Structure 1
């Protein structure tokens, strides 16, 4: 029992890292007044489509109206974060400054908690020195704060859930343990795995590309494969139980199977149709209630509108293969090098933002490659995350925030890269 407790404690981050990260974020929100969100376009920047849906839920219109006016039911975005927004709106008012402060504080809680899982991942795969530097980097580095303190959106929640799922996967594979834990793949852990991935799917479904790889990687490390397969089946039941109410709602409302979100056709046309250039600065629909395109969306209903937009994109793409290939490569570059802001932004600030973003991508990828070269535990799993998580964005649309779920790993790899470049002292522990 003593050995188990000692091993467990070794992977737990000092709570001062969490509190420093959380309080720093709340301080910046409060002193910097980041909760005072612009009123333009009827508060659209207060959560964008998710904020609109949160308002509709809080005011009795149901899960609906993602853009402007009352346009009817929607499955434009997954429901987890809009439901959180709606709950806050019910308590403290729709689009109020206090609601913004609460939501950004919750984001800060999710973001600060991510540092705890960063510490565990880095300790299990590397050592406590890498773990402390990585967790502190996440806690106080300005780039790691930005989405928690400025954006009413799901990035901080998704990053926390995904990093937690990775830490759980390492526990289930006994990575970093000094002794073999015969119960590493317990029923409770498998159920937790299913729960986490159910929540991830309802927060940001693009991460689901990684789920089969992660689940199989855990199973391949099982000491009793048959027993673990049975537990994995239970985890699948939990996962499906979390998704089922949302799928059933969509089937009842739209009379169509929409597993998580139903906007692909519209996004493809907006991102890769006529006039597309790889950027995604504007909403997919115009934010004027009397705009013909918005009126068409309302008249057709979301499902038919998305279907027609998808057909238009397909017709365009069949005669513009080179254009689609070119902007897909451009989106690949933007994902890793940063999506430039519009030209009216301050050029100096834009230069340093892009430099910082691109530097972290390069350092993160180099740290991952070094981890693969040195056969660091789970580095192959992490490489799969780097390959799969961005894949959808290369071919549909891209924004800087889409990299955020990978940024906890990027922090770890960056620290590992630079610490590996330092001469080791003879007495230093590996």
Structure 2
């Protein structure tokens, strides 16, 4: 959560500053972030593009600052990439687990009509298979299985993706049904809180875009793009934690904006 929030704040900060040290700090921060949570990298090109474009317009920065910042990001990731190449003999920028994550969320366990398909996944069996064939062969196999599943069962893949989207924002694939069935007040509070935050986020983004504020783009991009990888692989409510502070901010912004709009309209119509 801290890294994502700091990244967004720093993006807004460098967009108004020509100082080279601040841009270098931004590059180093992104380097640390990518090594810590590569999933956040999906927003990097969009935030960097917006910051450069905005800074070029507002403070007339030269190209040196963003180029050096981008170079620093690459330098931070280079040692781990070289380490991966030395061990696996292939270019793996940061992590190699994407094929496995894709397979976990897209396999025959989710197809009730599959004949002779996979019926269970256990840590013991997967660990044993991993140790027998090695990481490269293991991940190649998972990539092949996941891609085959997606190509052969596109409609099921789309249904699974839709369920993951719902689960990402509500904490469960069936929020209304689970809310009614829950016999725990805590579970109902969690589901309701996630629904409120998710609706508040989308409303906040809509109001930000409508207001044409300069910072609307980076604030909207972060929560909209960050979960995309989890829609395709597999999701969990804890995966959303890095952007939860932003959801709270957007929800509060939406409530405040609507409140002031109501106050303004009420004052205009009052005698």
Identify whether the pair has TM-score above 0.5, normalized to the shorter chain: yes
Residue in structure 2 matched with residue 339 of structure 1 by the alignment: 172
Residue in structure 1 matched with residue 226 of structure 2 by the alignment: 389
The reply on whether 1:366 has 2:200 as its aligned counterpart is no
The reply on whether 1:167 has 2:13 as its aligned counterpart is no
Residue in structure 1 matched with residue 83 of structure 2 by the alignment: 249
Map Cα deviations across residues 248-297 of structure 1 (whole Å, 9 max, x no partner).
111111111111111122222221110138xxxxxx96333xx3x32211
The reply on whether 1:263 has 2:97 as its aligned counterpart is yes
**C-alpha RMSD of matched pairs (Å):** 2.5
Does the residue aligned with 1:245 lie in a helix, a strand or coil? helix
Shift of 1:171: 1.6
The reply on whether 1:319 has 2:155 as its aligned counterpart is no
Q: 1:221 to 1:347 in 2, by over 3 A?
A: same
Shift of 1:376: 2.5
Query: Which of structures 1 and 2 has the larger relative contact order (alpha carbons within 8 angstroms, sep 6+)?
Result: 2
How many matched pairs?
Answer: 248
Q: Would the aligned equivalents of 1:340 and 1:354 in 2 still touch at CA under 8 Å? A: no
Residue in structure 2 matched with residue 30 of structure 1 by the alignment: none
Residue in structure 1 matched with residue 252 of structure 2 by the alignment: 415
Query: In 2, Cα distance between the equivalents of 1:371 and 1:312?
Result: 42
Q: Would the aligned equivalents of 2:99 and 2:139 in 1 still touch at CA under 8 Å? A: yes
Residue in structure 2 matched with residue 196 of structure 1 by the alignment: 29
Q: Would the aligned equivalents of 1:370 and 1:417 in 2 still touch at CA under 8 Å? A: yes
Map Cα deviations across residues 106-142 of structure 1 (whole Å, 9 max, x no partner).
xxxxxxxxxxxxxxxxxxxxxxxxxxxxxxxxxxxxx
Which residue of the other structure, out of 351, 375, 378, is the alignment partner of 2:188?
351
Q: Would the aligned equivalents of 2:28 and 2:73 in 1 still touch at CA under 8 Å? A: yes
Q: Write out aligned runs for 1:150-299 (5 A).
A: 159-174=1-16, 184-223=17-56, 227-276=61-110, 286-288=122-124, 291=125, 293-299=126-132
Query: In 1, Cα distance between the equivalents of 2:154 and 2:162?
Result: 12
Q: Which runs of 5+ in 2 are unaligned?
A: 112-119, 265-271
Residue in structure 1 matched with residue 268 of structure 2 by the alignment: none
Does the residue aligned with 1:167 lie in a helix, a strand or coil? helix
Query: In 2, Cα distance between the equivalents of 1:210 and 1:217?
Result: 11
Query: In 2, Cα distance between the equivalents of 1:261 and 1:336?
Result: 25
Query: In 2, Cα distance between the equivalents of 1:202 and 1:260?
Result: 7
Q: Would the aligned equivalents of 2:161 and 2:232 in 1 still touch at CA under 8 Å? A: yes
Shift of 1:334: 1.1
Map Cα deviations across residues 323-367 of structure 1 (whole Å, 9 max, x no partner).
1011011111111122369x9985433222111111111112111
Q: Would the aligned equivalents of 2:201 and 2:247 in 1 still touch at CA under 8 Å? A: yes
TM-score, normalising length from structure 1? 0.54
Q: Would the aligned equivalents of 1:198 and 1:239 in 2 still touch at CA under 8 Å? A: yes
Q: 1:165 to 1:185 in 2, by over 3 A?
A: farther
Q: Would the aligned equivalents of 2:18 and 2:61 in 1 still touch at CA under 8 Å? A: no
Query: In 1, Cα distance between the equivalents of 2:74 and 2:25?
Result: 13
